Structure 1
Amino acid sequence: MKNLLQQIKHRRLALKLKQNDMLMRIGISRQQYQRLEAKGNPRLDTLELIAKGLNSDVMLIPKEKLNAVLAVLESDGDNTSLPHKQPDHSDEQKKLSDDPWKGLLEDGDEDDNGN
C-alpha cells in the first residue's frame, strides 16, 4: 500500500494535474507543493486543503474495514467485487448500487446515541 504522499501524487496524476495546477486549485505554489509531495509533513488543515483540491476527502478507516474499502476503491463502482454478500432483494441491490459504501464504515450495533 502506498504511503500518504505517494497517494497524493498518484491522485494528482490521475486527475492529469501538474504541480503548478495546485496554485490555482488550493493556493499553494509549485515549490511548496513539490516540497510537500517529495518529503512533506503537512498539517491537518493543509492536508484537508490538498484533498479538496484533488476532489478527495481525508478519512480514518478502521483497520478491520480496510480490505473492504480497498476492494470498493479498486472496483471503480463495479459492485460485483464487493467483499460482502449481495442482498437478494432487488430494492436492496438498487440501494447498494447507489451507495457501494453502505455499511462499510459503520459498527452496525449501535446508533450515535448508543442505542
Structure 2
Amino acid sequence: MNSLLDQIKKRRIALELKQHDMMLRAGISRQQYQRLESRGNPRLDTLELIAKGLKSELLLIPQEKLQDVLAVLADDNSSSTKPNTTGKEKSSSLADDPWQGLLGENE
C-alpha cells in the first residue's frame, strides 16, 4: 500500500494538476504543498483541505476491512456497468451489495 502522501501526489497527477494549482483548489501556497509532498507530516486540517481540492475524501478504514474495501473499489466500475437482464430481484450477495458487512456484523 502506498503512503498517504504518495496517494495524494498520484491523485493530483491523475487530475492533471500542478502543485501550483493546489493554491487555488486547497487554499495553501505552492511552497507549502510542495513541502507536504516531499517531506510530509501535514496537520489533519491541511489534509482535509487537500482532499477537498483533489475531489476526494479522507477515510479511516479498519485494517481487517481494508482488503474488502480495496476489492470493492477495484470492482466498482466493472459491476456498475452490467445491466440486470434476468428480470429477477437481486440476491443479497457481496457482488450485489459490496458494502454489506463492512462496518460490522449488525448493520
Please say whether Structure 1 and Structure 2 have the same fold, judged by a TM-score greater than 0.5. Answer: yes
| Structure 2 residue matching 1:90: 3-state secondary structure | coil
* Cα distance in structure 1, aligned partners of 2:28 and 2:98: 32
Q: Deviations over 1:60-98 (max 9, x none)?
A: 111111111111222342238xxxxxxx833768xx4xx
Residue number in structure 2 paired with 1:39: 39
- Specify whether residues 101 and 22 from structure 1 end up closer, same or farther in structure 2 by C-alpha distance, changes over 3 A only: farther
* Cα distance in structure 1, aligned partners of 2:62 and 2:33: 29
2:68–2:102 contact (8 Å) kept in structure 1: no
The residue correspondences of 1:1-115 to structure 2 (distance < 5 A) are: 1-79=1-79, 89-90=89-90, 96=96, 102-103=99-100, 105-109=102-106
Q: Deviations over 1:83-114 (max 9, x none)?
A: xxxxx833768xx4xxx6532532132x5xxx
Aligned length, in residue pairs:
98
Q: Percent identity?
A: 57
Specify the code of the residue in structure 2 equivalent to 1:16.
E
* Cα distance in structure 2, aligned partners of 1:30 and 1:40: 14
Scaled by the length of structure 2, the TM-score of the pair is: 0.78
- Specify whether residues 104 and 21 from structure 1 end up closer, same or farther in structure 2 by C-alpha distance, changes over 3 A only: farther
* Cα distance in structure 1, aligned partners of 2:30 and 2:36: 10
Q: Deviations over 1:40-66 (max 9, x none)?
A: 211111111111111111111111111
Residue number in structure 2 paired with 1:85: none
* Cα distance in structure 1, aligned partners of 2:42 and 2:33: 10
2:22–2:53 contact (8 Å) kept in structure 1: yes
Give structure 2 stretches of 5+ with no counterpart.
Answer: 81-87
